[in-house]
Structure 1
């Protein structure tokens, strides 16, 4: 699936239009539903990576309180690197969520439009029920994904504050001040990790439900 995406990725660069990309993928036999599943899978992986990064960053932050004054400069550089990596992972999650929504909305529009093409009322009703159920599952997925994504922002803000403070105060008093705020940051990151776990599980559930649907024609 991802290999097939690479074959027509140039369409996006030359047109800047998602519909052109989806149309090109359709021509090589890759439907929007498959792209949606692939993107949810990629977002789940991005969240898993972000979760690991935030947990690692927290451990480095907590370890600062044990660093002797002579090693504070090195500790600051390490924490700053961890912060930047956390920002990068967070942005990757946001980008993946946006990509999911783009193809999901295109899929739902197409599916809704094609309901009018049925001549068999029973089949149309069945497809309409599947569409509603898929929309509901998708809405549940996006709620937990966006909750976890939003939770990253205050954690990054707090982490940035700590890194900046350490940058300008490389002394024992700074370490003491950071140590006094570590519990709050630890609680924030713990809540974030719990939300990301929930989002990852919801993504797995959504992927399973989509794969259980009948394969698209063509």
Structure 2
């Protein structure tokens, strides 16, 4: 339900400013921390989807290394589609990481400001400790997400190189040429997938901590 409301409220943000968006969400009973959890979950999902797209492109390229010349053009078109899908998924990952960081910074700014509103010093200190712990967990999460995202560009560049080369060289010599680069690309994609698995795991831990009141 929160995802649906957040999606609908995003329309408001497009028509106005971030402040109006947050105001609308608060009227619906959804605070910034809820939005942050939702966006972390979305970013986690996009990383999972990107993993599958990169894995599919690698498997497609692998299969091309052992096919007959007559099948090259058909498989080239499929590889090109896989590359475009991987590129689109990578863009979505970056957009969702940016969306996570936007609301996280707004949440922390608001939380810091509200610390000054306490009249009870004990409660203020407890809230500040909770804020610092949340900031610490978030810093680790965003660093992991960004590190995984940073592995995407080199992989996309190598995939693009292979697609461009095959576009004009659909023959056995082209297969021989890209075979020499395949092991490196395979290793890069495996590292990327492992980094994304780490980011997904960190995301789950962050979401669990936020939902438990951390």
Q: Distance in 1 between matches of 2:114 and 2:101?
A: 20
Q: Distance in 2 between matches of 1:83 and 1:77?
A: 10
Deviations 1:131-174 (A, max 9, x none): 00000000000011000001000000000000000001111100
Contact residue 67 and residue 75 of structure 1 kept, 8 A: no
Residue 162 of structure 2 is aligned to residue 165 of structure 1 = no
Please name the residue that 1:52 is paired with. 52
Contact residue 5 and residue 25 of structure 1 kept, 8 A: yes
Deviations 1:91-149 (A, max 9, x none): 11101100000100110000000000000000000000000000000000001100000
Task: Compute the displacement of 1:84 (Å).
Answer: 0.1
Task: Compute the displacement of 1:193 (Å).
Answer: 0.6
Please name the residue that 2:12 is paired with. 11
Relative to structure 1, the CA distance from residue 72 to residue 96 in structure 2 (aligned partners, 3 Å threshold; closer, same or farther) is same
Please name the residue that 1:2 is paired with. 3
Please name the residue that 1:93 is paired with. 93
Please name the residue that 2:107 is paired with. 107
Task: Compute the displacement of 1:66 (Å).
Answer: 1.3
Alignment of 1:1-218 (within 5 A): 1-15=2-16, 17-213=17-213
Deviations 1:10-32 (A, max 9, x none): 311211x2222111101111000
Structure 1, unpaired ranges of 5+ = none
Task: Compute the displacement of 1:198 (Å).
Answer: 0.4
Q: SS state of the match for residue 122, structure 1?
A: helix
Q: Distance in 1 between matches of 2:9 and 2:186?
A: 44
Q: SS state of the match for residue 8, structure 1?
A: helix
Deviates more, 1:77-86 or 1:48-57: 48-57
TM-score for both structures, normalised by structure 1:
0.95
Q: SS state of the match for residue 9, structure 1?
A: helix
Contact residue 144 and residue 199 of structure 1 kept, 8 A: yes
Task: Compute the displacement of 1:7 (Å).
Answer: 3.7
Task: Compute the displacement of 1:9 (Å).
Answer: 2.8
Structure 1 consecutive aligned stretches of length 4 or more whose deviation exceeds 2 Å: 6-10
Deviates more, 1:96-105 or 1:67-76: 67-76
Task: Compute the displacement of 1:213 (Å).
Answer: 1.0
Q: What RMSD, in angstroms, separates the aligned Cα atoms of the two structures?
A: 1.0
TM-score for both structures, normalised by structure 2:
0.97
Q: SS state of the match for residue 91, structure 2?
A: helix
Contact residue 83 and residue 159 of structure 1 kept, 8 A: yes
